[in-house]
């Protein structure tokens, strides 16, 4: 059955979930990589590893939830909203770190913009899912 204009392809959800799991695993098992990429000094990077691992666990949890909902043919909109909230908090965190000088301004703003692009696309997807749900009644 062809998709309607603005309809979200169902096979998008496991792909998004798998992406979240991969990113989360990277943050959990190699937390120093993000710090190095942001230009954080080694001492601060070591101190922030626990926070990076928590963010990784958040990503893995959201990814598993999205895949599970898709597999069970449940409404994935809650998981899409969770992704949008997660990415929105990343926008604030990266932006604040860049403004405060804790990370390279260029890299911090770049990561904030990257996270914002995810948040916007997830909000648009969430709205499309909610519209579909309301139409189907």
Does residue 42 have a pLDDT over 60?
Answer: yes
Average pLDDT over residues 112-117: 96
* CA angle (126, 129, 130) in 5-degree steps: 85
pLDDT, mean of residues 38-46: 83
22-45 mean pLDDT: 89
pLDDT given for residue 46 in this prediction: 85
Alpha-carbon dihedral sign for residues 48, 33, 23, 98: positive
What is the rounded average pLDDT for all residues in the chain?
89
Cα–Cα–Cα angle for 121, 79, 67, rounded to 5 degrees? 105
Using pLDDT thresholds of 50, 70 and 90, give the confidence band for residue 5: low
CB-side neighbour CA atoms (13 Å) of 31: 16
The contacts of residue 110 (CB under 8 Å, 6+ apart) are none
How far apart (Å, rounded) are the C-alpha atoms in residues 117 and 58? 19
- Global pTM value: 0.85
Q: What pLDDT is attached to residue 7? A: 65
pLDDT score recorded for residue 67:
93
Backbone angles phi, psi at 40, to 5 degrees: -80, 140
Give the pLDDT mean for 97-114. Answer: 92
CA dist., res. 27 & res. 93, Å (int): 15
Percentage with pLDDT > 70 across the chain: 93
């Amino acid at each position: 059955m062809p998709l309607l204009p603005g309809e979200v392809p169902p096979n998008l959800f496991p792909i998004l979930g798998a992406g979240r799991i991969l990113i989360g695993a990277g943050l959990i098992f190699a937390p120093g990589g993000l710090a190095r990429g942001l230009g954080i000094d080694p001492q601060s990077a070591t101190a922030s590893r626990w926070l990076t691992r928590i963010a990784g666990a958040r990503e893995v949890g959201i990814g598993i939830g999205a895949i599970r909902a898709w597999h069970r043919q449940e409404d994935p909109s809650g998981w899409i909203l969770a992704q949008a909230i997660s990415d929105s908090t990343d926008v604030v965190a990266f932006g604040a770190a860049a403004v405060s000088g804790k990370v390279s301004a260029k890299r911090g703003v770049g990561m904030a913009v990257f996270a914002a692009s995810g948040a916007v696309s997830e909000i648009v997807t969430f709205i499309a899912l909610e519209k579909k749900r309301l139409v189907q009644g």
